[in-house]
Structure 1
Amino acid sequence: MTDTRPVLVITNLDDPTADVVIDELHGRGVPVVRFDSGDFPASLSVEAEITPDGIRGTLTTPTRQADLTAVRSLYYRRPSGFTFPHLDPQEARFAITQARYGIGGVIASLPGCLYVNHPHRIGDAEFKPSGLAVAVDVGFSVPPTLITSDPDRARSFIDLHRPSIYKPLSALLYTIDGVACTVEVDEVTPDQIDEGVAGTAHLFQQRVRKVGDVRATVIGDQVFCVRIDSDLLDWRTDYDRLTYTVVEPPPGIAEAMLHYLARFGLVFGAFDFCIGEDGRWWFLECNPSGQWYWLELETGLPLCAAMADLLERKL
């Protein structure tokens, strides 16, 4: 019997990774309903009733309609935020809050749906201190790390763990002359720490003397590891200088990644490791919404097929 339940894909209009996954699903005859939650209420509507059997209702876009009780899986990518530009600021704040907790709450409560990943679990996993604590608990090697707003404590940590680096706790974008920028990972010395550190929380970490990096993409129970070689502290700052090699993880690493995802209730994760001079893999972070398709183009790994398998619920 043909499974007619749709896959919901929630993302913004400009998302090439979602595009290739949707193309793959269409090629398999799997129905897809794509929308951006930020389109509500102009071109997206939801009606949902709470019943003794759970949420029932429909989600409607200009071209599709989905029965909320018959969603096969939901691929939560990168939706834009709710906006109400026609309202004054106070009314807009009210409307945004109602949309977030109303539409967002319905989307997060679909019965029998596989979430890749669940938006609430994504939120939990995006807290770096939580991720590092779980990483230690599941057995990863994690560099000495400090989160603080105390300048003296920061200086003493950096002095003890030379060389040290600074990392933003959340990589928010800002603009300079109209160009989107983000705070980069960079080496830091004690003399660079001033009283401005007291203004907010900061993350400092011992820099691992590395010979390479690894992006490990976990899709369901499939693990794909790619070594990334460059002369960069943070390889994400210049993709043109990178070379890629498919590698196998050391013993225990794949199992630890699956345990890590299970702790957060995730089924997908993009893990970053650096490889120390002794060959040890050091955990840096796991992005529950990380990019992955460019690695397929560079290496030929069947990442898109694996993601489609997961969303189709073949895994």
Structure 2
Amino acid sequence: MKKPLILIVSSSAEEHSYGRVVSHLEKHGARVLLWLTDIAIGSSRSFSILITEQGTVSIQAGSVLVDVRDIDAAWYWKPNSFRVPGAEENVSRQMTYVNEVTSLNRALWSVLPESIWLSSPLQLWRAERKFQQLLLAREVGFEIPRTMVSSDWSMIEKFMGAETQNLVVKMARGVLADQNHVMAMPTTLLALPQRNALQGVVSPFPGIYQPYLEKRREWRITTVKEEAFPAAIYTNGKSRVDWRQSQTSNDVTFAKEDPPSLVLEYCVEYLRRSELGYGAFDLVEDEDGQFFFLECNPSGQYSWLEELLGLPISGSLAASLLPAQ
């Protein structure tokens, strides 16, 4: 019997994730072709895409050359997560490479049929649109928070309501660069006195504004096709605004718990409608037990939950890439 051939497009910085999936695939007799963006940039190993005059396409990685028609399944996993040499001293060089490689990857991997991808590059790009996420989440049954983008502080106050004392602001990408310094902007709490002080000083644009949700707990529900792997998140102090900033501290606790089955059904249905095979859902459960959708990251990290809680996510990813028995 012919061994299935699985293509994984990633970067070596993500080996902690894709490495486990590769192990599962190889245990099941699959051949794995790894395309690693940062290795291609460094030229330490030969990577090529070849398109002939007849329109046939081949991929070469190291000593392996395959016709794309022989690829049974493909997984696109953070191929733009890399650092070029000297990135700390030359941020513009790093950003130029990331922008160019991101554009190239989107164009390059469209040569493979949409149907073989766990989540195709095109669907991943579409799925990252935060406002479309909110509307789709509402369609499938989730509660969603009131959300606004505006250049007018008074419009924000009017839309959110006079009774809303605390808002949060987040950015569409959340990466800020100043000279040679790059930093992530976390979700930030803005109390009413802070907002009043900012009026007339700085524009609220291009921030994304929502009410701060008082929470019983948060949830990260990692979903692979029709399998959902929920984890409850308990927070204290500043981590109650954005737990990612204190993920490894004592202020954040992850627990293997189950939300209502209907919530898991919403996650599966969301993926189905998005034509995605994978998604990491961030939800807030408020003090009344209502579940609010915050976002679905179509390439959200999961390996720490697998290590901490024993969630078999890598095995599920591998199974989803293997041909049906």
Output the TM-score relative to the length of structure 2: 0.82
- SS of the residue aligned with 2:111? coil
- Answer with 56-65 or 222-231: which moved more: 56-65
Number of aligned positions between the proteins: 301
The answer for unaligned runs of 5 or more in structure 2 is: 86-91
**One of 103, 119, 130 as aligned partner of 2:132:** 130
User: In the TM superposition, what whole-angstrom CA distance separates every residue of 1:13-54 from its partner, at most 9, and x where no partner exists?
Assistant: 211111221222223221111113462695321113587xxx
Which residue number in structure 1 is paired with residue 118 of structure 2? 116
Measured against aligned partners, the alpha-carbon deviations of 1:207-261 in whole angstroms (never above 9, x if no partner) come to 1110111000110110111101121221111122322222223242222212212
Is 1:293–2:295 an aligned residue pair? no
**Is the CA contact 1:74–1:113 (under 8 Å) kept in the aligned structure 2?**
no
Give 1:168 shift.
1.2
Q: Residue 61 of structure 2 aligns with which residue?
A: 61
Q: Does 2:220 match 1:218? A: no
SS state at 2:19 partner = helix
State the shift of 1:277 in Å.
0.6
Q: Distance in 2 between matches of 1:279 and 1:217?
A: 20
Is the CA contact 2:227–2:268 (under 8 Å) kept in the aligned structure 1?
no
Q: State whether residues 120 and 276 of structure 2, in contact with CA within 8 Å, keep that contact through their aligned partners in structure 1.
A: yes
- Aligned to 1:132, the other structure's residue is in SS state helix
Mean Cα displacement is larger for which, 106-115 or 206-215? 106-115
1:273 aligns with 2:275: no
Gapped regions of structure 1 (runs ≥ 5)? none
The 2-side partners of 1:295 and 1:195 are apart by 44
How many angstroms does 1:109 deviate by? 3.4
1:167-195 per-residue CA deviation (whole Å, 9 max, x = no partner) reads 112222547985x5210111113314334
How do 1:248-259 residues align onto structure 2 when only pairs under 5 Å count? 248-259=258-269
Paired AA for residue 229 in structure 2? F
Q: 1:6 to 1:40 in 2, by over 3 A?
A: farther
Do residues 75 (structure 1) and 75 (structure 2) align? yes
Name the amino acid aligned to 2:22: I
Indicate the SS of the match to 2:51.
Answer: strand
The whole-number CA distance in structure 1 between the counterparts of 2:51 and 2:107 is 10
**Matches of 1:280 and 1:14, distance apart in 2:** 37
Counterpart amino acid of 1:62?
G
Q: How does 1:99-110 map to 2 (within 5 A)?
A: 100=103, 104-110=106-112
CA-CA distance at 1:297 after TM superposition: 0.8
Distance 1:49 1:254, change over 3 A: farther
2:13 equivalent in structure 1: 14
- Matched residue, 1:234: 242
What code does the residue aligned with 1:236 have?
Answer: R
CA distance 1:112–1:141, shift in 2 (3 Å): closer
Q: Which residue of 162, 166, 169 corresponds with 1:166?
A: 169
Counterparts in 2 of 1:107 and 1:41: CA distance versus 1, 3 Å: farther
Q: C-alpha separation between the residues in 2 aligned to 1:27 and 1:136?
A: 40
Contact kept? 1:168, 1:203, Cα under 8 Å? yes
Alpha-carbon distance in structure 2 between the residues aligned to 1:137 and 1:99: 30
